[in-house]
Structure 1
């Protein structure tokens, strides 16, 4: 299905895309909208050109309000309560509209629900079976991500998404992550991540294969941090001729940071 954009008179879609992670949403009033319909015909044209409002239900179905009436769509089964679907068995304009809005990121998929990011409070979509605090794409991190500690500026590699709250997770010393003074500025309710310091990993020329690097991550001492204390590092294209790569031309896993880590008291 082709990704679409709204017409200028319609509500603008979110700037981010559906890339597997929950994505940030801002509160809004749902209203009728249209989509560009040039080049489409029949039901496909009407699904885009006619003003409709799509509202997700708690059971994974959707209410579609149009000028011709209000109907309920089951996107997974591709059924609708309108005569065109219920009587003729057609893939009606309402089913097509729901598919368009899901693809555009305007409504959650049937297996998703709206949740609030535990860090910024923004509305987002997350799997219906996801437990614990939720995080939007801006504040979530995947194992292997290069991040920076906001408190010390040190470079870190994420090795695990713990998921539980900072006031529920204890370090090796038996203290809650939320109890450390260096975490006082961050929410007790935030999910915890386990990280290792880049400076503890072998330099690039000491890593002869991927397995060696994985072993280094596994054997390195882990530290626990609340989500918003970590900020993602965007790697930039390196200088191939000079052998440079990544943030600060240090390479994502071979750089060295200066100063103290400031985390000796919150080991995993």
Structure 2
């Protein structure tokens, strides 16, 4: 179920040039879609855009590009438009974030640049208020907190590590821990106990308390075609 062998090194360092469907666009907007380009995030939050005619650097926050079209004309060039397309399509991280590997499934996700904890993709990240089901018991719970710490470092109220429980043997000791309360305990009098679970032991329930389907693509983007 878990993939502890996955590391950031498993992500490709570079990308091939790709194109987007024209989507009825014209002018620079069309060229941003149909011309083969490769967008690569840089460490300083900018993006290198490789084209057939050269490589340029785009700064989305400053609305700049090093290409002649922007430098001489002040235009919103095809390179800036292309970076915006790829950020919206979640092909590259937005400014202030970097690409990381989900600690549960090894899939790609984006985290803040300075983040140094175990990363999680949308599928395995549980926000407070999310309705989930315990894979071991089938019980429903409400997530109340994300610890940001690994299961082999978080102790329960009894002083035992989350990873050491036999019921958690099938879940990665490296997985981030979430605290949750049982749904049927919320209507009872007295204190409600919080329990700790490795991320992948909790399965999000459809019709959850708060959605996490991710931002919809409203600009008509579609998966690009590799060139």
In the TM superposition, residue 102 of structure 1 has moved relative to its aligned partner by 0.8
State the Cα deviation string for residues 181-203 of structure 1 (Å, max 9, x = none).
Answer: 11111111111111111221218
Match of 1:188 in 2: 173
* TM-score with structure 1 setting the length: 0.69
Distance 1:27 1:78 in 2: 28
| From 49, 52, 58, the counterpart of 2:37 | 52
Deviation at 1:87, TM superposition (A): 2.5
**2:24 & 2:202 partners in 1: Cα distance?**
46
1:230 aligns with 2:215: no
Q: What SS does the corresponding residue of 1:169 show, helix, strand or coil?
A: coil
**Corresponding residue for residue 81 of structure 2:** 96
Paired with 2:39 and 2:74, the residues of 1 have a C-alpha distance of 21
Say which SS state the counterpart of residue 101 (structure 1) adopts.
helix
**Which residues of structure 1 form unaligned runs of 5+?**
1-25, 204-215, 237-268
> Corresponding residue for 2:144?
159
- Give 1:27 deviation, angstroms: 5.0
Counterpart-to-counterpart distance in 1, 2:143 and 2:34: 45
Q: 2: distance between equivalents of 1:230 and 1:44? A: 43
- Which deviates the most, 43-52 or 155-164? 43-52
1:209-248 to structure 2, matched below 5 A, reads 219-235=191-207
Paired residue secondary structure (1:110): coil
Q: Distance in 2 between matches of 1:177 and 1:115?
A: 24
Compute the displacement of 1:45 (Å): 2.0
**CA-to-aligned-CA distance 1:42-93 (integer Å, 9 cap, x gap):** 2222112211111111211111111211111111111111111123222111
Match of 1:65 in 2: 50
Aligned partner of 1:39 in structure 2 is 24
Aligned to 2:105: 120
- What is residue 119 of structure 2 aligned with on the other side? 134
Distance in structure 2 (CA, Å) of the matches to 1:105 and 1:202 = 40
Q: Could you say which structure has the larger radius of gyration?
A: 1
**Structure-1 separation of matches of 2:26 and 2:104:** 44
Name the SS of the counterpart of 1:87 in structure 2.
helix
Q: State the aligned residue count.
A: 198
Gap change, CA 1:38 and 1:135, over 3 Å in 2: closer
- Structure 2 Cα separation of the partners of residues 36 and 185 of structure 1: 43
Which aligned runs of 4 or more in structure 1 are off by greater than 6 angstroms? none
| Structure 2 unmatched ranges of 5 or more | 1-9, 209-227
- In the alignment, structure 1 residue 108 sits paired with structure 2 residue 93: yes
SS, match of residue 43 in structure 1: helix
Selected match of 1:81 from 62, 66, 73 = 66
How far apart, in 2, do the equivalents of 1:233 and 1:40 lie?
39
